[in-house]
Every structure is written in structure tokens, then in C-alpha cells.
Chains A and B, each alone.
Chain A
Amino acid sequence: MTADKERDVLVIGSGATGALSTMVLAQAGLDVLCLEQGGWVEKNEFAHTHTNWAWQRATNWNPDITRRDHPDDYMMGTDSSQPLMWNAVGGSTNAYGAIWPRYRPSDFRKGDEHGMQPNWPIAYEDVAPFYERVDAILGTSGLTGDPAMPPRPECPTGPLPFTKAAKKLSEGFDKLGWHWWPAEAGVISEDYDGRPACNNCGLCNGCPRGSMSIYSQSVWPKALEAGAELQTHARVLKILTGPDGRATGARWKNRVTGEIVETKAKIVIVAANGVGTPRLLLASGIGNSSDMVGRNLLHHTLVSAQIWVDEQVDGQMGYVASVLGREFAETDTSRGFVNGFNFNCTTSAPSAGEMATGWMSGTKAPWGKDHHTWMEKRFGHSIGLFAIGDDLPNPENRVYLDPTETDEDGIPVVKMHYEPGENDKRMMNYMLDRLQDLGEACGAFDIQLNDYRDADGVYRTPAWHMIGTCRMGDDPATSVVNGWHQSWDVPNMFIVDGSVLATGGVVNPTPTISALALRAAEYIRDNFVDLTTTERTLAA
């Protein structure tokens, strides 16, 4: 084991939050080392450069880590969820959809609203300015003026093209009198910051052009330019602490040479997201006096529908999201459950091959002479719809370490358990009914709903979002970090990623996670000297 010089800041994980934290702190002149267990994804590795791109996105580019086999993926066991994770520079932003809605103000005050979720220790207003600043870094596109959200300045780039599929959907929403608005996206609609505008190719599994914001392309160059050091193929085995319980650094393995290295640092930022962060804390035996580390795993309630309409809407072209419907975003207990949900509507639809073999709903093309008629009727005529809602935290939904099985490096294997609760199930049933309504309002000739329950009734969510597992709060007994992401137990350790989200909201979380990361990084920057010696974490 070799030790090198003490760094100012050690960042574990180079995904969205690792990238932003490293950038902010390096730009402030601090000596920052970021450890990333994967490597850089080369442009020619993306599905786009392969003629069998549809096959690629079911295999090598499958967002579900349990369905891939890259050398840098670290395996996890899951009893139902299909986790979206990517181990490379830029993290899971290599595989996400970059749909960019914000949390609602009520998402931060659920404790006051119905008490079945905690209040955050901060409010929407604390986060709002950071949403804008992240948007400016990435070049977020969208249309201002959404009546269902608080006012905001213009997006840095204008809305993406309003497609035929979006127009069709808008007609359905209008017929029902439901809110809809063009989706905001972490995708640039104009050339921005040296990256080219989206060309609407419709294959949103990563983006070699850099039009979709993959943080290895949109943020990492700035961090490296500011003097940050990024060590790839570095798997952290343990966060090290001293006799006073403060973090001293980390032990990690260079996966290229096999060397084990211990690096010392004054501040440690853990940015390994909803699975990686609790795994590391549990494996290191730190930060868990609340017994909340790994618990309260949230995925969002999620159901979907595939609808087919008579008009040719060419859903296979264009960015993956078209409109968001916020009609049901707030609680209305007359529905029989608390919390709300959004409609996420996809424009991007399958290739002919994917369509024929079932895509979202398992509706397959027949063999024989009907195959052609089926394809003519359906290919270019389908639209995908998702409904995503706020699931209630359950301490038994969790990320945990296997008691006996260890990986090749001797670290216990990480496991996940998730099961929707009563409120979640009621919400999902309601969502399915509303998807049916929407399909009918669009005049669809076929509506196929998908509740993601298998033959045994087990809910197997495509778990794009893994959040809540190291939640933020103002009470050390029921949370893992304070309002500044600072660990209650280890005052110079910060958790800056999706683990801290105390509630899931009704939306894709990356914009909120990124905004929080910018805020936390600036706090660390502005209080660096104190934080290097602080011995107590205070409620923010």
C-alpha cells in the first residue's frame, strides 16, 4: 500500500454530483482528487456508431446494470428493481434520459402536508437559484411560462422541436382539460458551450455528440481545466477515519495495475449515488448512528402505456421526452391516496425491430402475411407514456450488504430490496386508469398498459431513480446528513448525490440532485478552513 500527499478534497464518484463538486472546488483553487471506478466512454463506443444499435441498447447499452457485463460494472443483487446505473466517468448520465423538471415547493414540505414523509430541512427557495445556475452550465432547453410551476427565468436554450407526437398528445390533454407543457430537457437545442445542438436522431441512449448533457462532456472538461485530478479505474474499498471519528481519506484499488493505495484528504465528498454511497458507508462502518444508511430507498411509483394512433406521428425521431403533464402533481385525498404524479411522455419510440418484438408493452408483431399490415399500422404510430409519482419512504425498502457474500476485493456484495406500499399501489392503479383516459382522448386504436408486475405479482420497476438512502434532515436520529449534506457522525464527510433526497417528488431527480450538489460544493468551498477542523455537525 502506498500513500501519497494529503489532498484538500477527495471526491468519490465522477457522476453528475462528483463532476459538479470537483469543478466548483477546483475552480476555487483547492487541490481536488476524484476517484472513479470506471473509465472514459469513447465516442465510438456509443450505440449510435453501431449498425446494430437497437441490439446494443438491449445489451451493452442497457441501462439496467444487472443486464450488462462491462468490466467496470460492480454487481449488485436486487429482488425486484431493474436498476439504472453506469460505472464510468459521468456516471449514470451516460445512460439517463436527461429529462429536466424541477421539484415542486410542496415536495419539500410533505411533513406539514400529511406527515407520512418528513419535511426537508430546506425549502424550494433555497434550491431555486441553483437550478438556474446548473441550467446555465448545461444549456438546458425548455419553454418558460409553465402555469403549474413557480416562475423561472428563460432556459439557456429554447424548447426542442414540438413534434407530431407531442402535438397529438397535446390534443388528448386538451380534450381532458388536463395540464400539459413541453418538457424541459438537459439537452441543448442550439449549439452551446462548444457542443452541437441536438439533431433529433431519436436514439437517446447516451449521446456521443454531447447534445444531451453527459457530464463527462458538459462538466468534466471544466473541472479538469481548473486543475482537478481525475483517477479512473479507481475503486474505493473503504473510507478511512481517525480515532476522533473524522474522515482521513480513502483506501482504493487501481483496477488497471492491482495496486492498493491509501489517499489522505482533509474533506471527503461521497458522490456514488443511491446505491454506491450507502454501500461504501456500510462497508466502512461509518456515518450510521441513525441506522438510516441504505434505508428509505425511493424509486418513484412508475407505470407506463404504449398507445397507437391512426396518424403517422413518427415517434422514433426526436428527443426522448415531449411533454410533461402536471395535472395530478399535488395531493388530493379524494383519490384515495396521498401525493401526486406527473405524466412523462416519450417521443422517442422504438426501431422497427424493437417495435415488432414488443418494446414497452409486449405487443408483438405476428408472423405471416399480417406482419406487414401490422407494421404499416403501427410503426411510426406509437407513443410511449409514463406516469411517475412520489412513493412513500419505507425503512425496509433499502440497500444493504450481504452478510456472507463478498466481491473479488473482499467487500460485501450490495443488495437491494424494494416493494411498493399500499399508498403507492393505490396511486399506481389510479395512474393506469388515467393513462387509459389519455390514450382514449388521443383517439388511440390500441392502448397497452404496463404495471411492471410479473406473473407472480412482484412489482419490477425499471428503477431509473435510486434515491433517499442517506436522507437529509434536521434530526441526527432520523437522518444521515444535515441541510448542507454534512454527515452527522463524520463532520468532514459530505454526501453529495441522490442518496440525500428526503422525498422523491414526482419527477426525474437529476436536476434537483445537480442543484443541490452545486449548493453543497459552494458551501464546502466557502467554509473550507472551518470544515477541515470542525468536530461537530450542526443542524443547518
Chain B
Amino acid sequence: MTADRSVAVIGAGFVGTSCALHLARKGWDVTLIDKGGPANGASFGPAGIIQREAVAPYAFPRSVSKILSVLMRRGIDIRYHATALPGVARGLAGYWWNSSPKRHARATRAYATLIEHSLTEHGQQIDWAGPVADDLIRRDGWYDLYRTPAGLAGGLAHAKENHDGFGVPYEELSGDDVATLEPHLQERFTGAIHWPDTWSVRDPGELVAAYAGAFVEAGGTLVTGDVTDIAKTGDRWVLSSNGTEIAATDKVVVATGAWTDKVAAKLGWKPPLFVKRGYHRHFKGEGNRPLNNWIADLETGFLIAPMKRGIRLTTGAELGKLDTPQTPIQITEAEKIARRMFPIGEAADAAPWMGGRPCTPDMLPVIGPSPDKDGIWYAFGHGHQGLTMGPATGRLIAEMMGGKTPFVDPAPFRPSRFH
């Protein structure tokens, strides 16, 4: 172990906590900093699936009719705020460009290298964290329900592509199978796709906390603080909060998700990040009519999951700024449709929760060293898959920082591609 082995990780979501955990276990002296504690940001709110099946990132819709329907605010799966558009124009334009079939295929190949390790890397971290983590995990997959034959056919075609190209297993369910699976469904579905090789998390926030617990056990230090300044003093990076020093380390890992534009700006970089907001709300369900599985109605654009806190209803993507108020329409519409579909019961949360998914124009996360600031590393931009890819990212960062060839090719994720 050499002298220069202290590192501060900013951001304690799935990505940041996993980075900190891997580094601590490799013998680094690690300080994990978050302004609100573990899972203060997007990691608190996802649908809770470790999506081993999601080898392809979500592309910008290519068909004109789809784009029009989004523009005209029909449907709830993709929404936008006019005010957000100027700020995200550059990111969106890049996203559209990179969603051409050829470029999307290229992004998929790179994306898949991290997705392929999602279960094993979560499994490793769950091992380290012990039963407090393992008790949160279900290993029986999730279900993508379809109302229309055309929708089902489309879903199956996509599933076959992923199976043939990447070995992702799937099963087709008939309408009857769906009714048997979830006897309390109030609507009839044409069929469903089951993704058996995925895990679900009964409380994502608690899983991050469990990983943070393993980090502390491995010798790491967890600090609550809002990093307002990052500056190099001598050969160390000094992180401070409104004048008070929080940490001074040899290296820094910036894992601040949707807030990375603010942090990177302090380091002289403006990455093309744009935010897809998402909402969730918990419902109490009806005790004698439980929800058995994670079921999604992606044609409409929402998912319901039997979590620890109740039935969690999550929504699709909304283009909006992180710090502007919630627009309830996406979740209220989703609630109406969900309630028609299943007896979700009364709301358990006073208000919906909103989080921001950090997205990049080429749909790939940013993982690697800053090209111009020696000692600064980035791990952000995981879009819809922060939960899924967090541990694999933690391992990748720790291996790269250790100076050996990492377990996946880091080239597609390098920060310099946006410099």
C-alpha cells in the first residue's frame, strides 16, 4: 500500500456507496460524503429491480407518431416540461442522434458489459453486507404485462433479440397465466413476459444503507455534508462545505448522479447531463388481496411492486429540471390506471416522491478519470440503471484506480468523450 491511498467519494447512492465499499475493501482510506445520507437522491425511489435483462439502454423514440404523441402530452410514459427543454436541448439532441439503430446497437454492446455483471456484483456486495441486505432480495424476476397483442408481439420481439444477442432468458405468459399469477388483477391482459433472471429489492433505500453499513465495517468513514467547494491544495484535494473543511484526500470520486453538473462545474467541466425525473408513491393495498409480484404495464408507463413500505407505484420518464416543483399529472394519471388494474388501496405516503435520473446523450454512464484534473474520478450518468449498475461500477472504479486492467473494457465510459 502506498502513501497516496486516501479517497473521498461524493454521493452515497447505489453508485457512490458501491465505489466507496469496493475501495475500502481494497485497503483505501475512504470518506463517503452525502448531503443527506445514503440514498438521499434517485436511489431512494426506483422500481427496485436489478435489471439483468436490460442489456439495451432506453432509446429516444424514433417513430414520428410516438414523438408526436409525447409532444402532445398524450400518454404518461414520457412527459416533459417546456421550461426544461432549453437546458436539455444539447443533451436531448445527442440522445436522439445516438438512438439511431446502429449507434444504439453500439451503445448496447458497451452497456451490456456492465449489465451482465449486475447480479454477480450485487451478490458480492450482499455477501459482504450480510442478512440485512439478503433479506431485502427476491430472486424470482418481474413481469411485463401487455394489454394488446401488438404490444405483446413487440415486447417478445425485443426479448428474442436480447436472448439471441446476449443470452437473456425470458418466458411468455398467456392471459390465463397472468390471471393465475395475480388473481387480484381487475383487468384482463393479453399476456406477459417474465424476466426470471432478475432480482428485486424490497426497499432500495435500505439496500443502499446495508451497503453503507458494510462500507463502515470495512473501515470507511461516512460523513453527512454538502460539498460546496473542491480545490487542490498541494497534492491533496480539499472538500469543504461553506467554508468548513470536510475532507482532504489524494483522490476524489464524484458519484453525485443528477447533481453532477453542479459538482463538475466546480472542476471546470460541463458534462452534457440531462435529467429524466421519476415519481413514486406507496399504497397500503388491501390485506386480503395482496400483490404477489413486481408487475409493470410498460405500454402505459408504470410499475407496481410489493415493497416493504407498501405497494410502490413508479412512473416513467419526465423531462424536467431537478429543482423545479413536481408536476403531479404523471403520477396521478398512473394512479388512476393502476387503481383500475389492481386494488392498491389508500395512499401510504402523504405526497409522491420525485427523483432525477441522470442521463447522458449516448446513454452510457461516465466512469473513469478526469482527463485534466489529476486525482479526480467520475462515476455518474447511469440513467435508468443506477440501482442495477451500482456495484459493477464500484468494482470498475476501484479496479481502475488500482492501476490494473479492469474486468470490463472501460473505454466506452471514459469521461474524455465529453470533453
Contacts and interface: CB of A to CB of B under 8 A. Distances in A.
Nearest to A255: B405
Interface string A251-264: 00101111110000
A44 interface: no
A71 B396 CA distance: 13
A172 B59 CA distance: 75
Contacts of B368: 257-258
Interface in A229-275: 232-233, 253, 255-260
B414 A233 contact: no
Interface in B341-361: none
Interface string B384-414: 0000000000000000100111110111111
Nearest to A260: B411
B57 interface: no
B409 A258 contact: yes
A2 interface: yes
A2 B371 CA distance: 10
A142 to B, nearest CB: 37
Interface of B: 368-369, 371, 400, 403-407, 409-414, 416
A231 to B, nearest CB: 11
A408 interface: yes
Interface of A: 2, 38-39, 71-72, 232-233, 253, 255-260, 408
A342 B405 CA distance: 41
Contacts of B371: 2, 259
A233 B404 contact: yes
B416 A256 contact: no
A72 B407 CA distance: 10
Given A256-B400, A257-B400, A233 B410 contact: no
Contacts of B404: 39, 71, 233, 256
B411 A258 contact: yes
Given A2-B371, A258-B368, A259-B416, A253 B405 contact: no
A408 B113 CA distance: 12
Nearest to B368: A257
Nearest to B416: A259
A259 B414 contact: yes
Most buried by A among B404, B410, B414: B404
Contacts of B400: 256-257
A257 B405 contact: no
9 contacts: A71-B405, A232-B403, A255-B409, A257-B369, A257-B400, A257-B414, A258-B368, A258-B409, A259-B416
B411 A233 contact: no
A258 B403 contact: no
B142 to A, nearest CB: 31
A38 B404 CA distance: 9
B369 A233 contact: no
Contacts of A233: 403-405
B406 A256 contact: yes
A260 to B, nearest CB: 7
Contacts of B413: 258
